[in-house]
Amino acid sequence: MDAMVKCMEKATFQKTAAEAILKVIRENGRNQERAAEANLILVCANVALTCSGHNKDNKPYQKAIVKIFQCLEKDCGANWKKLGGVATAVKQLVYLVKRCWDENSRSEKPDFIPGGLEAGRLLLHFANKSKANGTTVRSAFPSDFDWMSWLRSNFTDKSVGWVPAQGVGSTILGNDGSVWGVVVADGGHCWKLEGARIAKKETKGNKWYWKDEVASAQGVGSTILGNDGSVWGVVVADGGHCWKLEGGRIAKKETQGSKWYWKDEVADS
């Protein structure tokens, strides 16, 4: 785990390392504890801060970073060891949260950036653990505004999350499911992919689609997993009260979370 976390500090390995770490910790609470002890939160926060912020600046590793944060934040109230690295990352997490503040807006509603929501939730969990922690978090923010009240009003029990932009940094798939590549530049009439390939914008839907279009659908075409990690199957139809899977199996919608989850979600403990 220490080696993988260190790899994330190197720009050339950030995407590969982030995805590898996510696979290792996603279903394993003990590995999540080890990752936290290896200062994964601090490293992820530093990597997230290298991006200027919003969807138009999306980079390939950002989605993995967000999901890592989600893994560590989920149910951490029952396992404080998952917050082991927050103390050394308070300053960086605060920077991420502050980037969600829109200085030009008259509203105090956050303009969430990749990792910003999760950073705020990690800070709140950490602050709620003890009075000393609360003081540490509060003092890391400027004194010109009641940031803690803003955090509690806007970052608690949110399901906002973040969906990567369909552009630079996203992956394009052919209609046969083959991976065409990651978009590295907008070529005007086309998307330029790694390896010099292009995807003409006018052929979207006919020849290719965005990888995240399928993942975000959470319906027909998506994969359902049991809470033990077993593959139940690909959804072939919406049966009203249930999802019909290939092979004749069904997944009752009312049991989502308690018995099954979508493949691209973080599993419930």
Cα gap 219→235, rounded to integer Å: 6
Cα 178 to Cα 207: distance, rounded to the nearest angstrom: 11
Which percentage of the chain shows pLDDT scores above 90? 12
Q: Which residue has the tokens 């970073």?
A: 65
- Superfamily of 2-154 according to CATH: Leucine-rich Repeat Variant (1.25.10.10)
**Which residue, 21, 27, 37, is CA-closest to 82?**
37
pLDDT score at 93: 94
Query: Domain segments of the chain: what residues?
Result: 2-154, 171-213, 218-262
Q: Tens digit of pLDDT per residue, the chain (269 long)?
A: 788 778 777 767 777 888 888 888 876 778 888 888 888 999 989 888 886 555 444 565 677 888 888 888 876 766 778 788 898 999 999 999 998 887 666 567 788 888 888 899 999 988 888 888 889 999 999 988 889 889 888 887 544 344 445 677 778 888 776 788 888 888 889 999 988 899 998 888 778 877 765 444 467 677 888 887 788 988 877 788 888 888 889 999 888 878 887 776 544 33
Sequential DSSP letters for 220-252: TT-EEEETTS-EEEEEEEE-SSEEEEGGG-EEE
Model pLDDT, residue 56: 43
Say if residues 244 and 237 touch (Cβ distance below 8 Å). yes
The token pair that represents 256 in the structure block:
């989502």
CA distance 195 to 189: 18
Q: What is the DSSP string of 13-38?
A: GHHHHHHHHHHHHTT-HHHHHHHHHT
| Order of strands across the sheet that contains 223-226 | 250-252, 242-245, 231-238, 223-226, 260-262
> Tens digit of pLDDT for each residue in 142-189?
988 889 889 888 887 544 344 445 677 778 888 776 788 888 888 889
User: Is pTM, for the whole model, over 0.75?
Assistant: no
Q: Which of 143, 186, 176 is nearest to 56 (CA)?
A: 186
pLDDT of residue 197: 92
Q: Are 25 and 68 in contact (CB under 8 A)?
A: yes
